[in-house]
Structure 1
Amino acid sequence: MGIFASLNAARRNLLAILPDIATRQPMVSGRTAKRWHMVMDPGAIRRILLENIDNYPKSLVTKNLLKPAIGDSMFIAEGAHWRWQRRAAAPAFSHRNVTNLGPVMSAAAQGSLARIEEAGKHAVDMYAEMVRATFEVIGNVTFSEGSQFDPEEVHRAIDGYIDAAGRLSLFDILGMPDWVPRPGRIRTGPPVRDMKAMADQAIEARKATGPSAVPDLLDLLLEGEDPETKRKMNTSELRDNLLTFIVAGHETTALTLSWALYLCAFDQEVQGRARDEAQAVLQGRVATANDLESLPFCRMIVDEALRLYPPAGIISRTAQAHDTLCGREVRPGDTVMIPIYALHRNRILWDDPDAFRPERFSNRKEIDRYAYLPFGDGPRICIGASFALQEAVIVLATLLSRRRFHLVPGRVPKPVMILTLRPEGGVWLTSEPVG
């Protein structure tokens, strides 16, 4: 594709710029205004994300898309500024703290189940329902006890921002600096300013009132400090990282659950096996964090949904110095992409890659670590991965134990990637109670 064809395709659906050959080769290179490489080889990906990480910072396009909303948070910060933030935030996402947040996830699963039961035999957009459930979780674990934080207002701001800011401009493709205005993103300003103002108010209010009875994510971040420098986050740093967790923490999990439920409705045999497991473990109650080890097949379904429909379908980096990947020259300034959607469906790496087969994750040791990257890898692996997986298994097991889901004829969701891989048109399913 030329520049304008690439721009038009990318603005509609980033998956459109992934050539089919990317599912059959270890690396694909080309030029669209600037040189680019798509890398699907696990060894080369390991070099990008781990062995030579300083040579591959996040691309300018990624930073330009996200910085207006999440500032210089750890998601886009580089070098020492990233390292101290990561060290300060890491304790908040320890296994113990994530497990302690389980009751909030169980309550959201119970609420979602009640709404689905109330719909009876009517079709429900499970994507909208999962967004509601996961936003309830992230709101409650971020700002608890009657905060001034308005979850509905923030959710509208996030949705509007993703829709407008996530669309590539010609300036992005040409690699123009972030101080050059992107006309299509001007309208994102007011909702983002309001969202930041609300977060600032909530942080200052918590500083004044002290921690909650049961520490939530904000309390844990307020207490967090870099063990090496003893530095703590100030209000603006806290706000940028909180907004990162809010945006990423509900959108990605909602997408994972939506696609998982769609796939289970598509394959009734898989759904039945998961239901048998969930019913045997739960005995009619809601799933909890302590049930996760007893729900291995439900976890496999989540893993397989993340393989087929990874929420972050493409990782983009910009090479800083000369390097060699798969025997091919990489020059300074080249865009180096890891198209996770194509990586997860690459015929060299996966047997029958387009098939829904959760059992392929029954032995994780057989899967190359850098062939499966729903949360990235290396030092910058997603800090909230265990949080997302725990939430997804709790909600999925709870719903499958009580409802049997079916596809709605003629309403097949189309995967469309802007910032995240969303089901265009929603995921419409009907359900019925099970014994």
Structure 2
Amino acid sequence: MPDTALPRPLPVRVPLVNEEWGIWKSLQMARSNVLRIIPELSTRLPIVSGKTGKRWHMVTDPAGIKRMVLDNLDIYPKSVVTKNLLKPAIGESIFIAEGADWRWQRRTAAPVFTHRNMMNLAPIMTGAAERCADRIAAAGPRAVNLLDEMVNTTFDVIADVTFSGGEAFDRSGVHRAIEDYISEAGKISLFDILGAPDWVPRPGRVVSGQAMRETKAVADRAIEERAARGHDGVPDLLDLLLAGEDPKSGRKMTTAELRDNLLTFIVAGHETTALTLAWSMYLLAFDPAIQDRARAEAQAVLQGRAATGEDVEHLPFIRCIIDEALRLYPPAGMVSRTAMEDDVLCGREIRKGDTCIIPIYALHRSKLLWDDPDTFDPDRFADRKSVDRYAYMPFGDGPRICIGASFALQEAVIILATVISRFRFTPVPGKEPEPVMILTLRPEGGVWLTAEPA
């Protein structure tokens, strides 16, 4: 008998380009969603090249990516435009710096993110997760926007682990300033991706630096106050950075350097984790069987108590769900580099000045690298060693891999396990999110789910 089984439904995805667009059509699509300019061919070929004002190459071949981010790292720095996009918020921090300036900051900050320090910060994550669950319960049996909940929860965490106990730190003001910056100044245009000069106008971008300037002033005061009076209890990120020094030169960070790096952790640390959690919640509501399996694991481990740092390693399926959410909806859906010398990638000639793009969204859905790439299947991460490290790059890779990856993953596991152990989530009809990349890949319209006690 013929197989009459219906194809498995797929979670929401970005429609990639199947036709050649001119520069104006590309600009129009990029303004609405930068990922819309990725050719669908990039999910079926190792490299796709073209010219939209200037030469560009999109690389989804693991060996080619390794050459860009590890073997020939200095030839492929972050584009100047990308740096200028972020500089008003995070200055010359570890995320933007290059060369020797980056190396000493990385050496100084790396010890902050040891396993021991991350475990010490776990109770802060647990407290924020419990407060999130309490808010969802108090909302009653009605639809809740889990995107808003996750943004608020992860900001609670990052505020507590950066400026704990600091009365000089205006949390709500900093939160507003960062949200405004991401939604306005953070809008990436096609010109940013292609590395066009700063003087080329970016249509639709409104940059207001006043709120960020005020936030930096507030952060400077909080840092100087902490340095003067010290801090009792478990050291937070500020304490650890204040005590840190470059093991090679003995150099310590100035107030401005501390502030820029702390703001980097705040901007990157809460936004990306919140999105990962929001997309995870969407996927769990999308697939009730996987949600039930996740809840069973969380309830068996937590047994009605608050999560601890030690619980994380005993929640492998929760971690697989987070890994799969990061594959399907990577917060940084595209990374742009500028070739500083002639080179060869995937047998293709690269000229000095060419824009080389890692379209991480397409990489994670490559038909050459993944089975059924558009399908939600957390079990593909049951054996992480089987996954090519340059086929899966939610945190980047090479020397510049995200320094806070272990922090983000621990936080995400604790929050997701806490929430899913207490509630059963179902989608709200007609409220399906749309994946849209502004500075990060967000669920446009929010993640609206109905929560019922489990």
TM-score by length of 1: 0.97
Q: Say if 2:222 is the partner of 1:202.
A: yes
Structure 2 counterpart of 1:36: 56
Name whichever structure is richer in helix by fraction. Answer: 1
Counterpart residue type for residue 193 of structure 1: R
User: Quick one: which of 101, 107, 128 aligns to 2:127?
Assistant: 107
Q: Partners of 1:379 and 1:367 in 2: how far apart?
A: 19
Task: Indicate how the Cα distance of structure 1 residues 312 and 283 shifts in structure 2: closer, same or farther if over 3 A, else same.
Answer: same
Task: Indicate how the Cα distance of structure 1 residues 330 and 212 shifts in structure 2: closer, same or farther if over 3 A, else same.
Answer: farther
Structure 2 counterpart of 1:128: 148
Q: Say if 2:342 is the partner of 1:300.
A: no
Structure 2 counterpart of 1:256: 276
Structure 1 counterpart of 2:374: 354
SS in 1 for 2:51: strand
Q: Partners of 2:113 and 2:37 in 1: how far apart?
A: 35
Structure 2 counterpart of 1:385: 405
- Asked if the contact 1:165–1:184 (Cα under 8 Å) also holds between the matched residues in 2, the reply is no
Q: Partners of 2:311 and 2:276 in 1: how far apart?
A: 19
Q: Give 1:16-415 correspondences, 5 Å limit.
A: 16-168=36-188, 172=192, 175-178=195-198, 187-415=207-435
Query: Structure 1 residue 396: deviation in Å?
Result: 0.5
- Asked if the contact 1:38–1:337 (Cα under 8 Å) also holds between the matched residues in 2, the reply is yes
Q: Partners of 1:168 and 1:280 in 2: how far apart?
A: 43
Task: Indicate how the Cα distance of structure 1 residues 168 and 390 shifts in structure 2: closer, same or farther if over 3 A, else same.
Answer: closer
Q: Partners of 1:4 and 1:65 in 2: how far apart?
A: 22
Counterpart residue type for residue 295 of structure 1: L
Deviations 1:207-255 (A, max 9, x none): 1111332210000011111100111110111111111000000000000
Structure 2 counterpart of 1:420: 440
Deviations 1:18-57 (A, max 9, x none): 1111111111111111111100000000110111101000
Task: Indicate how the Cα distance of structure 1 residues 14 and 181 shifts in structure 2: closer, same or farther if over 3 A, else same.
Answer: closer
Structure 2 counterpart of 1:430: 450
Q: Partners of 2:37 and 2:232 in 1: how far apart?
A: 47
Q: Partners of 1:337 and 1:180 in 2: how far apart?
A: 20
Query: Structure 1 residue 188: deviation in Å?
Result: 1.9
Task: Indicate how the Cα distance of structure 1 residues 38 and 133 shifts in structure 2: closer, same or farther if over 3 A, else same.
Answer: same
Counterpart residue type for residue 13 of structure 1: N
- Asked if the contact 1:145–1:212 (Cα under 8 Å) also holds between the matched residues in 2, the reply is no
- Asked if the contact 2:56–2:194 (Cα under 8 Å) also holds between the matched residues in 1, the reply is no
Q: Partners of 2:196 and 2:216 in 1: how far apart?
A: 26
| Structure 2 unmatched ranges of 5 or more | 1-20
How many residue pairs end up in the alignment?
434
Task: Indicate how the Cα distance of structure 1 residues 267 and 186 shifts in structure 2: closer, same or farther if over 3 A, else same.
Answer: closer
TM-score by length of 2: 0.93
**Mean CA deviation greater in 379-388 or 143-152:** 143-152
> Aligned-pair RMSD on alpha carbons?
1.5
- Asked if the contact 1:292–1:390 (Cα under 8 Å) also holds between the matched residues in 2, the reply is yes
Q: Partners of 1:172 and 1:304 in 2: how far apart?
A: 28
- Asked if the contact 1:10–1:167 (Cα under 8 Å) also holds between the matched residues in 2, the reply is no
User: Quick one: which of 22, 33, 43 aligns to 1:2?
Assistant: 22
Deviations 1:357-398 (A, max 9, x none): 000001111111100000000000000000000000000011
Q: Partners of 1:366 and 1:171 in 2: how far apart?
A: 37
Deviations 1:98-134 (A, max 9, x none): 1100000000000000000111211000000000000
Q: Partners of 2:202 and 2:88 in 1: how far apart?
A: 11
